[in-house]
A and B are shown apart, each in its own frame.
Chain A
Amino acid sequence: MSALLAADPVTGFASMLSQPFVRHALLAGTAISALSGLVGYFVVLRGQVFAGDALSHVAYAGALAALAAGLDLRFGLFAATIGVGLLLGLLGGRGVADDVVIGTTFAWVLGLGVLFLTLYTTSSSTGNGAANVTVLFGSIFAITGAAAATAAWIAAGLIGALLLIARPLLFASVDPGVAAARGVPTRLLGPLFLAILGGAVAEASQAVGALLLFGLLAAPAAAAQRLTADPWRALSLAGVLAVLAMWAGLGLAYAVPALPASFTIVGCAAVEFAAAAGYRALRGSAAKAGQPGGQPAADEPRGVVAAP
């Protein structure tokens, strides 16, 4: 374990990869982080960060409800997040909810989760607090081979769905009026995206837990947006950054066992964000010094009739 630090890095690395639990974590982690980065780009773009937060609470309650009912927690996890995601999408824009209503409702959902936790730990003989920790903070090194494969397949499917709608989704997110006039089904895309977000939240819960998945969803995407203004590059960059954070986090957690994996992964993502923000700040102040302020009156369109 800490042999990674002591010995030659190459053999340390190889020995790390020889461990099955590491390979499972890498498989699930890579797929899940790629999904999180890509979905996260649109979440930040569309200003639906609160929805991600709300869905993470729902993930907690859903997973524990499933456990309390004796089912595989993934049933509750996915059913709850995708269902509520769709619901949020369909209700959205009705102008009913403001911050207070949303926060209150989802605080209650978290309270429900705690209820289910108690139900689970008191009803099931094998129930213990560990389930709570797993749902809250993830346990990617404990994921089995089968679960890792399932997670990877689901992530691939969700990524495929997202890429399919990516272009009209971008149009509808940035320019809803014109997109609607062009025939983009904006009213369908909203709920559909939130359903995909629900799926991504459920997936990410398995890796870093319901409480921390936010970091994986928002931080790489926000970092990518600061590094480039080309939306397609930013989208791919968000995915790449998320995967890098996952790999770095996993490696760090393996090398230093005292550090939990969820902590290192989220930490790396946050560092990416901070670095990108810092880079932007430096770039911004340098650019502002050298740039001539845009003088719109000086822009004469070609072939214009002289203004009266």
Chain B
Amino acid sequence: MSEQSPGEVRIPAGAELLALTGVTAAVGGRAIFSDVTLRVRAGEFVAVLGPNGVGKSTLLKAVLGLLPISGGRVEVFDAPPGRHNSRIGYLPQRRAFDPATRIRGIDIVRMGWDGDRWGVALPGLLTGRAGRAARDRVREVIALVGAERYAHRPIGQCSGGEQQRLLIAQALIRRPELLVLDEPLDSLDVTNQASVSALIQSVCRSHGVAVLLVAHDVNPILPYLDQVIYLAHGGAVMGPPEQVITADTLSMLYGTTIDVLRDRTGRLVVVGQPDSHAEHEPRR
């Protein structure tokens, strides 16, 4: 079931959506990361990994054109970053909504559809066909993430996992070709991490949406990954997980002894990863 609105150019499988070549970023005069090369193709599931403070969020913001880069090239849908943001679904790193927030989940999802248009939302009766199409799409995408039961509750009262699903629905509502997710799993418990990861995977595979996801811990998403990029202060390594997440590769990347171990359940543990001394980005 691939979604294409009429008039949209169909992206051929394997086409390159995102290309970063030798990109360096500096914030406030301080180099965050340098010489990063990254390619994301249509329908690929790519994870961005690395220790704290290495600039993973900065990388995503550069892709969206929210932060300027100081070197290298970024091409998003063959154009400069920021030009085609309507084809990208973005989930920024965030804390949970305040428990007292009195806005419903369904409204948050709807904002993804037309929240940036000027004016006010007219009551349903006055919006005719366009309004009905919007409401149908909202319902569809909420069903897709399995959030029907709590979409009408004030979002502040939803649990962490529920909020994340609603936010993913918001990111998906305009049928993006690329999903950019900044640490979507970090505030969730293990069960929720598994189910949200599975949701992202299912969206990726059945709707052909490419995924670029920043994660702290690779394990919940490891089974789904096509490519992995490991960021370090002086560079990056990209490739399939089994090639990149090895003791040799990572030791070379970080310039210090890294061990990659597997526990009894098959989970990977990376030991010895240094936390970067770069300034942590303020969590919004």
Query: Interface on A for B, CB 8 Å cutoff?
Result: 163-168, 170-171, 174-184, 225-226, 228-232, 234-235, 294, 296-297, 299-308
Contacts and interface: CB of A to CB of B under 8 A. Distances in A.
Q: Size band of the B side of the interface?
A: 35 or more
Most buried by A among B86, B107, B154, B201: B107
Given A297-B192, A302-B143, A232 B120 contact: yes
Contacts of A225: 102
A300 B202 CA distance: 11
Interface string B103-126: 110011001101111111101000
12 contacts: A170-B111, A177-B94, A181-B92, A182-B85, A226-B102, A230-B104, A232-B107, A294-B149, A299-B147, A301-B146, A304-B199, A307-B194
Contacts of B162: 294, 296, 299
A178 B90 contact: yes
Interface in B203-231: 205-206, 223
Contacts of A296: 159-162, 191-192, 195
Contact of A234 (B102, B145, B159, B206): B102
A184 B195 contact: no
Contacts of B158: 294
A95 to B, nearest CB: 9
Given A171-B111, A229-B104, A302-B144, A166 B202 contact: no
Interface of B: 64, 66, 85-86, 88, 90-94, 101-104, 107-108, 111-112, 114-121, 123, 143-147, 149-150, 152-154, 158-162, 165, 170-171, 191-192, 194-195, 197-199, 201-202, 205-206, 223, 284
A231 B103 contact: yes
B154 A167 contact: no
B233 to A, nearest CB: 25
A296 B149 CA distance: 10
Given A226-B102, A305-B198, A182 B108 contact: no
Q: Which of A167, A176, A181 neighbours the largest number of chain B CB atoms within 10 Å of its CB?
A: A181
Given A180-B66, A181-B64, A304-B199, 14 more contacts: A163-B119, A171-B116, A174-B101, A175-B108, A177-B93, A178-B91, A178-B170, A179-B115, A296-B161, A299-B162, A301-B145, A302-B144, A304-B198, A305-B205
B113 to A, nearest CB: 10
